[in-house]
Chain A
Protein backbone atom coordinates (compact mmCIF):
# COMPACT_ATOMS: atom_id res chain seq x y z
CA UNK A 1 0.00 0.00 0.00
CA UNK A 2 1.33 3.47 -0.90
CA UNK A 3 1.92 6.06 1.80
CA UNK A 4 -1.38 7.83 2.56
CA UNK A 5 -1.71 11.48 1.58
CA UNK A 6 -1.75 13.43 4.90
CA UNK A 7 -4.38 15.95 3.78
CA UNK A 8 -6.68 13.26 2.52
CA UNK A 9 -6.22 11.31 5.76
CA UNK A 10 -7.05 14.44 7.79
CA UNK A 11 -10.23 14.99 5.77
CA UNK A 12 -11.31 11.33 6.03
CA UNK A 13 -10.62 11.03 9.75
CA UNK A 14 -12.20 14.45 10.30
CA UNK A 15 -15.41 13.08 8.80
CA UNK A 16 -15.42 10.16 11.25
CA UNK A 17 -14.56 12.44 14.18
CA UNK A 18 -17.41 14.79 13.25
CA UNK A 19 -19.88 12.01 14.04
CA UNK A 20 -18.65 12.02 17.66
CA UNK A 21 -18.40 15.84 17.95
CA UNK A 22 -21.06 18.51 18.57
CA UNK A 23 -22.80 19.53 15.32
CA UNK A 24 -21.01 22.24 13.41
CA UNK A 25 -17.73 21.94 15.33
CA UNK A 26 -14.70 23.20 13.37
CA UNK A 27 -12.10 20.53 12.86
CA UNK A 28 -8.40 21.12 12.24
CA UNK A 29 -5.13 19.45 13.14
CA UNK A 30 -4.92 21.50 16.36
CA UNK A 31 -8.49 20.75 17.49
CA UNK A 32 -8.39 19.01 20.89
CA UNK A 33 -10.57 15.91 21.04
CA UNK A 34 -11.48 16.20 24.70
CA UNK A 35 -11.55 19.91 25.50
CA UNK A 36 -12.80 21.22 22.12
CA UNK A 37 -15.06 18.36 21.04
CA UNK A 38 -16.04 16.81 24.41
CA UNK A 39 -14.94 13.36 23.19
CA UNK A 40 -14.20 11.60 26.49
CA UNK A 41 -11.96 8.57 26.92
CA UNK A 42 -14.81 6.11 26.36
CA UNK A 43 -16.11 7.87 23.23
CA UNK A 44 -12.51 8.07 21.99
CA UNK A 45 -12.26 4.27 22.14
CA UNK A 46 -15.44 3.91 20.07
CA UNK A 47 -14.19 6.49 17.60
CA UNK A 48 -10.90 4.64 17.25
CA UNK A 49 -12.81 1.42 16.59
CA UNK A 50 -14.53 3.09 13.61
CA UNK A 51 -11.15 4.22 12.34
CA UNK A 52 -9.62 0.76 12.81
CA UNK A 53 -12.43 -0.78 10.82
CA UNK A 54 -12.15 1.75 8.00
CA UNK A 55 -8.39 1.27 7.55
CA UNK A 56 -8.03 -2.36 8.65
CA UNK A 57 -5.56 -1.52 11.42
CA UNK A 58 -5.31 -2.02 15.18
CA UNK A 59 -4.64 0.87 17.51
CA UNK A 60 -3.80 -0.57 20.94
CA UNK A 61 -5.66 1.02 23.84
CA UNK A 62 -2.24 1.75 25.40
CA UNK A 63 -1.64 4.40 22.73
CA UNK A 64 -4.85 6.33 23.25
CA UNK A 65 -3.58 8.15 26.33
CA UNK A 66 -1.17 10.13 24.14
CA UNK A 67 -3.91 11.40 21.83
CA UNK A 68 -4.72 15.06 22.45
CA UNK A 69 -5.44 16.65 19.07
CA UNK A 70 -6.99 15.53 15.81
CA UNK A 71 -3.48 15.87 14.36
CA UNK A 72 -2.18 13.32 16.90
CA UNK A 73 -4.90 10.92 15.77
CA UNK A 74 -4.11 11.40 12.08
CA UNK A 75 -0.37 10.86 12.73
CA UNK A 76 -1.11 7.70 14.70
CA UNK A 77 -3.22 6.26 11.88
CA UNK A 78 -0.55 7.22 9.31
CA UNK A 79 2.08 5.46 11.41
CA UNK A 80 -0.02 2.30 11.68
CA UNK A 81 -0.73 2.30 7.94
CA UNK A 82 2.99 2.78 7.31
CA UNK A 83 3.87 -0.20 9.53
CA UNK A 84 1.42 -2.38 7.66
CA UNK A 85 2.72 -1.57 4.19
Chain B
Protein backbone atom coordinates (compact mmCIF):
# COMPACT_ATOMS: atom_id res chain seq x y z
CA UNK B 1 0.00 0.00 0.00
CA UNK B 2 1.29 3.47 -0.85
CA UNK B 3 1.11 6.20 1.77
CA UNK B 4 -0.83 8.47 -0.63
CA UNK B 5 -3.55 5.87 -1.36
CA UNK B 6 -5.80 7.53 1.22
CA UNK B 7 -6.00 10.60 -1.04
CA UNK B 8 -7.12 8.69 -4.14
CA UNK B 9 -10.50 10.43 -4.29
CA UNK B 10 -8.79 13.84 -4.14
CA UNK B 11 -6.32 12.84 -6.84
CA UNK B 12 -9.15 11.78 -9.12
CA UNK B 13 -11.10 15.00 -8.62
CA UNK B 14 -8.01 17.12 -9.17
CA UNK B 15 -7.25 15.19 -12.36
CA UNK B 16 -10.73 15.96 -13.69
CA UNK B 17 -10.31 19.68 -12.95
CA UNK B 18 -6.90 19.82 -14.61
CA UNK B 19 -8.42 18.26 -17.74
CA UNK B 20 -10.72 21.28 -18.12
CA UNK B 21 -8.12 24.08 -18.29
CA UNK B 22 -5.90 25.92 -15.80
CA UNK B 23 -5.28 24.54 -12.30
CA UNK B 24 -7.61 26.63 -10.11
CA UNK B 25 -5.70 25.65 -6.99
CA UNK B 26 -2.19 26.45 -8.19
CA UNK B 27 -2.49 29.34 -10.59
CA UNK B 28 0.78 31.04 -11.45
CA UNK B 29 0.82 34.82 -11.24
CA UNK B 30 3.62 35.65 -13.67
CA UNK B 31 3.86 39.37 -12.94
CA UNK B 32 1.96 41.94 -10.88
CA UNK B 33 1.02 45.41 -12.09
CA UNK B 34 -0.22 47.01 -8.88
CA UNK B 35 -2.83 45.57 -6.50
CA UNK B 36 -5.52 44.91 -9.13
CA UNK B 37 -3.81 43.65 -12.28
CA UNK B 38 -1.44 40.80 -13.09
CA UNK B 39 -0.07 38.77 -15.95
CA UNK B 40 -1.50 35.26 -15.87
CA UNK B 41 -0.78 32.75 -18.66
CA UNK B 42 0.80 35.56 -20.64
CA UNK B 43 -2.34 37.71 -20.46
CA UNK B 44 -3.01 41.01 -18.70
CA UNK B 45 -5.68 40.11 -16.12
CA UNK B 46 -7.85 42.11 -13.73
CA UNK B 47 -7.74 40.59 -10.26
CA UNK B 48 -11.15 40.23 -8.63
CA UNK B 49 -10.31 37.51 -6.15
CA UNK B 50 -7.43 38.64 -3.93
CA UNK B 51 -9.11 39.79 -0.67
CA UNK B 52 -6.89 42.88 -1.09
CA UNK B 53 -9.82 44.95 0.13
CA UNK B 54 -8.10 48.30 0.57
CA UNK B 55 -5.44 47.73 -2.10
CA UNK B 56 -2.56 48.55 0.26
CA UNK B 57 -0.09 45.91 -1.02
CA UNK B 58 1.54 48.51 -3.28
CA UNK B 59 1.12 51.52 -1.02
CA UNK B 60 4.42 53.50 -1.26
CA UNK B 61 4.50 54.29 2.49
CA UNK B 62 3.96 50.64 3.45
CA UNK B 63 6.65 49.51 1.00
CA UNK B 64 9.10 52.10 2.31
CA UNK B 65 8.42 51.07 5.92
CA UNK B 66 9.07 47.43 4.97
CA UNK B 67 12.33 48.25 3.16
CA UNK B 68 13.58 50.33 6.06
CA UNK B 69 12.80 47.51 8.54
CA UNK B 70 14.60 44.98 6.35
CA UNK B 71 17.71 47.12 6.35
CA UNK B 72 17.63 47.80 10.09
CA UNK B 73 16.39 44.48 11.50
CA UNK B 74 17.14 41.89 8.81
CA UNK B 75 15.04 39.39 6.91
CA UNK B 76 13.60 37.30 9.74
CA UNK B 77 13.33 36.78 13.48
CA UNK B 78 14.46 33.14 13.10
CA UNK B 79 12.50 31.95 16.10
CA UNK B 80 9.57 32.29 18.46
CA UNK B 81 9.08 35.10 20.92
CA UNK B 82 9.30 32.80 23.93
CA UNK B 83 12.70 31.50 22.76
CA UNK B 84 14.27 34.30 20.71
CA UNK B 85 12.73 37.34 22.33
CA UNK B 86 10.27 40.03 21.36
CA UNK B 87 11.31 42.84 19.02
CA UNK B 88 10.31 46.33 20.08
CA UNK B 89 8.28 46.51 16.86
CA UNK B 90 6.18 43.47 17.90
CA UNK B 91 5.22 45.31 21.09
CA UNK B 92 4.57 48.56 19.25
CA UNK B 93 2.32 46.79 16.74
CA UNK B 94 0.38 45.10 19.55
CA UNK B 95 -0.19 48.46 21.23
CA UNK B 96 -1.32 49.96 17.91
CA UNK B 97 -3.68 47.07 17.11
CA UNK B 98 -5.20 47.32 20.60
CA UNK B 99 -5.68 51.07 20.17
CA UNK B 100 -7.16 50.68 16.67
CA UNK B 101 -9.61 48.01 17.86
CA UNK B 102 -10.39 49.95 21.07
CA UNK B 103 -9.26 47.11 23.33
CA UNK B 104 -6.98 46.77 26.33
CA UNK B 105 -4.83 43.93 24.99
CA UNK B 106 -3.62 42.51 21.69
CA UNK B 107 -1.48 39.55 20.67
CA UNK B 108 0.08 39.19 17.23
CA UNK B 109 0.42 35.85 15.43
CA UNK B 110 2.47 34.76 12.45
CA UNK B 111 -0.49 33.94 10.19
CA UNK B 112 -4.24 34.51 10.30
CA UNK B 113 -4.78 30.76 10.38
CA UNK B 114 -2.61 30.53 13.48
CA UNK B 115 -4.48 33.40 15.12
CA UNK B 116 -7.66 31.30 15.21
CA UNK B 117 -5.80 28.09 15.90
CA UNK B 118 -3.96 29.65 18.86
CA UNK B 119 -6.80 31.66 20.35
CA UNK B 120 -9.52 29.01 20.17
CA UNK B 121 -7.29 26.09 21.18
CA UNK B 122 -6.06 27.97 24.27
CA UNK B 123 -9.38 29.55 25.30
CA UNK B 124 -11.29 26.26 25.16
CA UNK B 125 -10.34 23.17 27.13
CA UNK B 126 -11.50 19.59 27.59
CA UNK B 127 -14.39 20.53 29.92
CA UNK B 128 -15.71 23.32 27.72
CA UNK B 129 -18.22 23.36 24.87
CA UNK B 130 -17.58 25.46 21.78
CA UNK B 131 -20.69 26.45 19.79
CA UNK B 132 -19.64 27.18 16.22
CA UNK B 133 -21.46 28.53 13.19
CA UNK B 134 -21.75 25.72 10.64
CA UNK B 135 -20.04 27.79 7.89
CA UNK B 136 -16.82 27.72 9.85
CA UNK B 137 -13.43 28.48 8.34
CA UNK B 138 -10.89 25.64 8.47
CA UNK B 139 -8.81 27.57 11.03
CA UNK B 140 -11.79 27.62 13.42
CA UNK B 141 -12.46 23.93 12.89
CA UNK B 142 -8.79 23.08 13.49
CA UNK B 143 -8.63 25.35 16.56
CA UNK B 144 -11.62 23.52 18.01
CA UNK B 145 -10.00 20.15 17.36
CA UNK B 146 -6.74 21.20 18.95
CA UNK B 147 -8.60 22.49 22.02
CA UNK B 148 -10.01 19.07 22.96
CA UNK B 149 -13.35 20.75 23.80
CA UNK B 150 -16.75 19.36 22.87
CA UNK B 151 -17.78 21.02 19.62
CA UNK B 152 -21.42 21.73 18.75
CA UNK B 153 -22.30 23.27 15.37
CA UNK B 154 -25.34 25.50 15.02
CA UNK B 155 -27.21 26.43 11.84
CA UNK B 156 -25.50 29.11 9.84
CA UNK B 157 -26.25 32.60 11.15
CA UNK B 158 -29.23 31.30 13.13
CA UNK B 159 -29.35 32.82 16.65
CA UNK B 160 -32.54 30.85 17.46
CA UNK B 161 -30.78 27.54 16.77
CA UNK B 162 -27.80 28.72 18.86
CA UNK B 163 -30.20 29.61 21.67
CA UNK B 164 -31.78 26.13 21.64
CA UNK B 165 -28.40 24.44 21.72
CA UNK B 166 -27.13 26.56 24.61
CA UNK B 167 -30.36 25.77 26.45
CA UNK B 168 -29.81 22.03 25.98
CA UNK B 169 -26.16 22.18 27.08
CA UNK B 170 -25.81 24.16 30.32
CA UNK B 171 -22.33 22.69 31.05
CA UNK B 172 -22.08 23.64 34.75
CA UNK B 173 -18.57 22.11 35.04
CA UNK B 174 -17.01 24.14 32.27
CA UNK B 175 -17.30 27.24 30.09
CA UNK B 176 -19.20 27.83 26.86
CA UNK B 177 -17.63 29.71 23.97
CA UNK B 178 -19.51 30.87 20.87
CA UNK B 179 -17.44 31.33 17.70
CA UNK B 180 -18.75 33.22 14.66
CA UNK B 181 -17.33 35.23 11.77
CA UNK B 182 -18.23 38.87 11.13
CA UNK B 183 -18.33 38.45 7.35
CA UNK B 184 -18.49 34.92 5.98
CA UNK B 185 -15.74 34.34 3.44
CA UNK B 186 -17.53 32.15 0.93
CA UNK B 187 -21.01 33.64 0.50
CA UNK B 188 -20.12 37.13 1.75
CA UNK B 189 -23.03 37.36 4.18
CA UNK B 190 -22.84 39.29 7.46
CA UNK B 191 -23.31 37.79 10.96
CA UNK B 192 -26.49 38.68 12.87
CA UNK B 193 -24.31 39.82 15.77
CA UNK B 194 -26.95 41.82 17.64
CA UNK B 195 -29.14 38.77 18.08
CA UNK B 196 -26.18 36.49 18.75
CA UNK B 197 -25.02 38.88 21.49
CA UNK B 198 -28.49 38.80 23.06
CA UNK B 199 -28.38 34.98 23.13
CA UNK B 200 -24.86 35.00 24.53
CA UNK B 201 -25.86 37.34 27.37
CA UNK B 202 -28.93 35.30 28.21
CA UNK B 203 -26.84 32.15 28.66
CA UNK B 204 -23.69 33.67 30.14
CA UNK B 205 -21.41 32.34 27.41
CA UNK B 206 -18.23 33.88 25.98
CA UNK B 207 -18.23 35.19 22.41
CA UNK B 208 -15.40 35.24 19.87
CA UNK B 209 -15.85 36.99 16.52
CA UNK B 210 -13.45 36.45 13.63
CA UNK B 211 -13.28 39.74 11.71
CA UNK B 212 -10.75 38.51 9.13
CA UNK B 213 -12.79 39.70 6.15
CA UNK B 214 -14.58 42.62 7.81
CA UNK B 215 -11.85 44.57 9.58
CA UNK B 216 -10.94 47.65 7.56
CA UNK B 217 -14.21 47.49 5.61
CA UNK B 218 -17.08 47.60 8.16
CA UNK B 219 -17.71 50.14 10.93
CA UNK B 220 -17.07 53.89 11.13
CA UNK B 221 -13.50 53.29 12.30
CA UNK B 222 -13.01 50.11 10.27
CA UNK B 223 -13.00 47.75 13.25
CA UNK B 224 -15.43 45.31 11.67
CA UNK B 225 -18.98 44.04 11.93
CA UNK B 226 -19.12 44.22 15.75
CA UNK B 227 -18.44 47.95 15.50
CA UNK B 228 -20.90 48.39 12.63
CA UNK B 229 -23.67 46.71 14.65
CA UNK B 230 -22.78 48.56 17.87
CA UNK B 231 -22.05 45.46 19.97
CA UNK B 232 -18.29 45.65 20.52
CA UNK B 233 -18.54 45.76 24.31
CA UNK B 234 -20.39 42.43 24.32
CA UNK B 235 -17.80 40.64 22.18
CA UNK B 236 -15.19 39.09 24.48
CA UNK B 237 -12.57 38.22 21.87
CA UNK B 238 -11.93 39.42 18.34
CA UNK B 239 -9.58 37.64 15.97
CA UNK B 240 -8.31 39.27 12.79
CA UNK B 241 -5.78 38.98 10.03
CA UNK B 242 -3.07 41.08 8.39
CA UNK B 243 -3.44 39.34 5.05
CA UNK B 244 -6.56 41.09 3.76
CA UNK B 245 -7.24 44.80 4.38
CA UNK B 246 -3.75 45.27 5.81
CA UNK B 247 -2.08 43.73 2.76
CA UNK B 248 0.58 41.61 4.48
CA UNK B 249 0.57 38.30 6.38
CA UNK B 250 -0.09 37.53 10.04
CA UNK B 251 -2.96 37.72 12.46
CA UNK B 252 -4.05 39.09 15.83
CA UNK B 253 -6.45 38.64 18.70
CA UNK B 254 -7.71 41.42 20.99
CA UNK B 255 -9.66 41.45 24.22
CA UNK B 256 -10.38 43.43 27.38
CA UNK B 257 -10.14 40.28 29.51
CA UNK B 258 -7.62 41.02 32.29
CA UNK B 259 -6.00 37.56 31.93
CA UNK B 260 -5.80 37.60 28.13
CA UNK B 261 -1.97 37.62 28.15
CA UNK B 262 -2.00 34.04 29.45
CA UNK B 263 -2.47 33.00 25.81
CA UNK B 264 1.23 33.76 25.34
CA UNK B 265 2.16 30.78 27.51
CA UNK B 266 -0.84 28.58 26.72
CA UNK B 267 -1.31 28.81 22.95
CA UNK B 268 0.94 26.36 21.13
CA UNK B 269 0.56 28.00 17.68
CA UNK B 270 1.93 31.20 19.28
CA UNK B 271 4.69 29.56 21.30
CA UNK B 272 6.13 27.10 18.81
CA UNK B 273 6.49 29.08 15.61
CA UNK B 274 8.76 31.90 14.46
CA UNK B 275 7.36 35.35 15.18
CA UNK B 276 6.36 37.68 12.31
CA UNK B 277 9.36 39.11 10.46
CA UNK B 278 10.50 42.74 10.72
CA UNK B 279 9.35 43.79 7.24
CA UNK B 280 5.89 42.32 7.81
CA UNK B 281 5.51 44.05 11.17
CA UNK B 282 6.60 47.37 9.67
CA UNK B 283 4.23 47.23 6.68
CA UNK B 284 1.30 46.28 8.93
CA UNK B 285 2.02 49.24 11.23
CA UNK B 286 2.11 51.57 8.23
CA UNK B 287 -1.10 50.05 6.82
CA UNK B 288 -2.92 50.41 10.15
CA UNK B 289 -1.99 54.09 10.28
CA UNK B 290 -3.18 54.41 6.69
CA UNK B 291 -6.64 52.93 7.23
CA UNK B 292 -7.10 54.97 10.42
CA UNK B 293 -6.22 58.19 8.56
CA UNK B 294 -8.05 57.45 5.29
CA UNK B 295 -11.70 56.51 5.79
CA UNK B 296 -12.20 57.33 2.09
CA UNK B 297 -10.63 53.92 1.34
CA UNK B 298 -13.71 52.33 2.91
CA UNK B 299 -16.04 54.60 1.00
CA UNK B 300 -14.25 53.61 -2.20
CA UNK B 301 -14.53 49.82 -1.67
CA UNK B 302 -18.24 50.16 -0.91
CA UNK B 303 -18.77 52.22 -4.10
CA UNK B 304 -16.99 49.52 -6.10
CA UNK B 305 -18.93 46.74 -4.38
CA UNK B 306 -22.26 48.39 -5.18
CA UNK B 307 -21.29 49.07 -8.80
CA UNK B 308 -20.11 45.49 -9.43
CA UNK B 309 -23.06 43.95 -7.56
CA UNK B 310 -25.60 46.05 -9.52
CA UNK B 311 -23.91 45.26 -12.85
CA UNK B 312 -23.74 41.52 -12.22
CA UNK B 313 -27.35 41.44 -11.02
CA UNK B 314 -28.46 43.31 -14.16
CA UNK B 315 -26.68 40.65 -16.26
CA UNK B 316 -28.82 38.00 -14.58
CA UNK B 317 -26.20 36.47 -12.27
CA UNK B 318 -27.41 35.15 -8.90
CA UNK B 319 -25.44 36.92 -6.16
CA UNK B 320 -25.27 35.07 -2.84
CA UNK B 321 -25.47 38.19 -0.62
CA UNK B 322 -26.19 41.94 -0.75
CA UNK B 323 -23.35 44.26 -1.91
CA UNK B 324 -20.17 43.87 0.13
CA UNK B 325 -16.45 43.22 -0.27
CA UNK B 326 -17.15 39.58 -1.21
CA UNK B 327 -19.38 39.04 -4.24
CA UNK B 328 -20.13 35.37 -4.83
CA UNK B 329 -22.11 34.16 -7.81
CA UNK B 330 -24.07 30.92 -7.54
CA UNK B 331 -23.90 28.66 -10.58
CA UNK B 332 -25.95 25.51 -11.13
CA UNK B 333 -23.24 22.82 -11.04
CA UNK B 334 -19.52 22.09 -10.94
CA UNK B 335 -19.18 21.65 -14.71
CA UNK B 336 -20.69 25.05 -15.47
CA UNK B 337 -18.70 26.74 -12.71
CA UNK B 338 -15.36 25.33 -13.86
CA UNK B 339 -16.20 26.29 -17.47
CA UNK B 340 -17.09 29.84 -16.36
CA UNK B 341 -13.95 30.21 -14.26
CA UNK B 342 -11.70 29.14 -17.15
CA UNK B 343 -13.52 31.38 -19.64
CA UNK B 344 -13.18 34.42 -17.36
CA UNK B 345 -9.46 33.76 -17.09
CA UNK B 346 -9.21 33.62 -20.89
CA UNK B 347 -11.14 36.91 -21.02
CA UNK B 348 -8.66 38.48 -18.59
CA UNK B 349 -10.56 38.36 -15.29
CA UNK B 350 -9.43 36.39 -12.25
CA UNK B 351 -11.98 35.31 -9.62
CA UNK B 352 -11.85 32.40 -7.16
CA UNK B 353 -13.33 29.03 -7.99
CA UNK B 354 -15.16 27.70 -4.92
CA UNK B 355 -16.50 24.15 -4.98
CA UNK B 356 -17.82 21.67 -2.40
CA UNK B 357 -16.62 20.56 0.11
CA UNK B 358 -15.07 24.02 0.53
CA UNK B 359 -18.46 25.73 0.23
CA UNK B 360 -21.51 25.71 2.50
CA UNK B 361 -24.46 23.55 1.49
CA UNK B 362 -22.64 22.07 -1.49
CA UNK B 363 -23.02 25.21 -3.65
CA UNK B 364 -20.74 25.98 -6.61
CA UNK B 365 -19.49 29.56 -6.67
CA UNK B 366 -17.48 32.05 -8.61
CA UNK B 367 -16.17 34.06 -5.69
CA UNK B 368 -15.12 37.61 -6.36
CA UNK B 369 -13.71 40.22 -4.01
CA UNK B 370 -13.49 43.92 -4.76
CA UNK B 371 -10.80 46.39 -3.75
CA UNK B 372 -10.77 50.08 -2.97
CA UNK B 373 -7.95 50.19 -5.52
CA UNK B 374 -10.13 49.02 -8.44
CA UNK B 375 -10.81 51.94 -10.76
CA UNK B 376 -14.31 52.48 -12.11
CA UNK B 377 -12.88 51.66 -15.52
CA UNK B 378 -11.61 48.31 -14.23
CA UNK B 379 -14.97 47.46 -12.67
CA UNK B 380 -16.68 48.27 -15.96
CA UNK B 381 -14.20 46.14 -17.91
CA UNK B 382 -14.91 43.26 -15.52
CA UNK B 383 -18.65 43.72 -16.13
CA UNK B 384 -18.06 43.73 -19.90
CA UNK B 385 -16.29 40.32 -19.60
CA UNK B 386 -19.11 38.97 -17.44
CA UNK B 387 -21.60 40.10 -20.09
CA UNK B 388 -19.73 37.97 -22.64
CA UNK B 389 -19.63 35.09 -20.17
CA UNK B 390 -23.40 35.36 -19.64
CA UNK B 391 -23.98 34.87 -23.38
CA UNK B 392 -21.59 31.93 -23.51
CA UNK B 393 -23.17 30.30 -20.45
CA UNK B 394 -26.47 30.21 -22.32
CA UNK B 395 -24.82 28.37 -25.23
CA UNK B 396 -22.90 26.12 -22.80
CA UNK B 397 -26.12 25.06 -21.06
CA UNK B 398 -27.73 24.31 -24.44
CA UNK B 399 -24.74 22.22 -25.57
CA UNK B 400 -24.73 20.25 -22.31
CA UNK B 401 -28.48 19.63 -22.66
CA UNK B 402 -28.03 18.48 -26.27
CA UNK B 403 -25.11 16.15 -25.45
Point out residues on A near B: beta carbons under 8 Å. 40-43, 45-46, 49, 53, 56-58, 60-62, 84
Cβ–Cβ contact B356 & A61, under 8 A: no
Tell me the minimal C-beta distance from A33 to chain B in angstroms: 14
With a cutoff of 8 Å between Cβ atoms, the chain B residues found around residue A43 in the complex are: 357, 362
Tell me the minimal C-beta distance from B133 to chain A in angstroms: 12
* In the assembled complex, B152 has its CB within 8 A of some CB on chain A: yes
With a cutoff of 8 Å between Cβ atoms, the chain B residues found around residue A45 in the complex are: 134, 153
Known: A45-B153, A46-B361. A58 touches B356 (CB 8 A): no
Known: A45-B134, A49-B134, A49-B155. A60 touches B150 (CB 8 A): yes
* In the assembled complex, B345 has its CB within 8 A of some CB on chain A: no
Tell me the minimal C-beta distance from A82 to chain B in angstroms: 15
Closest B residue, CB atoms, query A65: B145
Contacting residues of chain B (334-377) with chain A, CB-CB under 8 angstroms = 356-357, 361-362
Tell me the minimal C-beta distance from A14 to chain B in angstroms: 21
* In the assembled complex, B151 has its CB within 8 A of some CB on chain A: yes
How many Å lie between the Cα of A46 and that of B361 in the bound state?
8
How many A-B pairs have beta carbons closer than 8 Å: the answer is 34
How many Å lie between the Cα of A56 and that of B10 in the bound state?
35
With a cutoff of 8 Å between Cβ atoms, the chain B residues found around residue A53 in the complex are: 155, 161
Closest B residue, CB atoms, query A38: B9
Cβ–Cβ contact B357 & A61, under 8 A: no
* In the assembled complex, B71 has its CB within 8 A of some CB on chain A: no
Closest B residue, CB atoms, query A45: B153
How many Å lie between the Cα of A41 and that of B145 in the bound state?
15
Most buried by B among A45, A56, A61: A61
Cβ–Cβ contact B357 & A40, under 8 A: yes
With a cutoff of 8 Å between Cβ atoms, the chain A residues found around residue B72 in the complex are: none
Residue in B144, B168, B362 whose beta carbon sits within 8 Å of that of A58 in the complex: B168
Tell me the minimal C-beta distance from B362 to chain A in angstroms: 7
* In the assembled complex, B165 has its CB within 8 A of some CB on chain A: yes
With a cutoff of 8 Å between Cβ atoms, the chain B residues found around residue A62 in the complex are: 150-151
With a cutoff of 8 Å between Cβ atoms, the chain A residues found around residue B153 in the complex are: 45, 49, 61
How many Å lie between the Cα of A3 and that of B134 in the bound state?
30
Tell me the minimal C-beta distance from A43 to chain B in angstroms: 7
**Shortest Cβ-Cβ A-B pairs, 4 listed:** A42-B357, A61-B151, A60-B150, A58-B152
A-B contact pairs, 21 of them (CB 8 A): A40-B357, A42-B357, A43-B357, A45-B134, A46-B361, A49-B153, A49-B155, A53-B155, A56-B164, A57-B168, A58-B165, A58-B168, A58-B169, A60-B150, A60-B152, A61-B144, A61-B151, A61-B152, A61-B153, A62-B150, A62-B151
Tell me the minimal C-beta distance from B239 to chain A in angstroms: 20
Closest A residue, CB atoms, query B152: A58
- Interface contacts beyond A56-B164, A61-B152, A62-B151: sample of 6 additional A-B pairs, CB < 8 Å, sorted by A: A46-B134, A57-B168, A58-B152, A60-B129, A61-B153, A62-B150
Closest B residue, CB atoms, query A63: B150
Closest B residue, CB atoms, query A42: B357
With a cutoff of 8 Å between Cβ atoms, the chain B residues found around residue A57 in the complex are: 168
Closest A residue, CB atoms, query B358: A42
With a cutoff of 8 Å between Cβ atoms, the chain A residues found around residue B152 in the complex are: 58, 60-61
Contacting residues of chain B (161-181) with chain A, CB-CB under 8 angstroms = 161, 164-165, 168-169
Tell me the minimal C-beta distance from B191 to chain A in angstroms: 18
Tell me the minimal C-beta distance from A37 to chain B in angstroms: 14
- Proximity string of chain B (129-151) to chain A, C-beta cutoff 8 Å, 1 when within and 0 when not: 10000100000000010000011
With a cutoff of 8 Å between Cβ atoms, the chain A residues found around residue B161 in the complex are: 53
With a cutoff of 8 Å between Cβ atoms, the chain B residues found around residue A41 in the complex are: 357
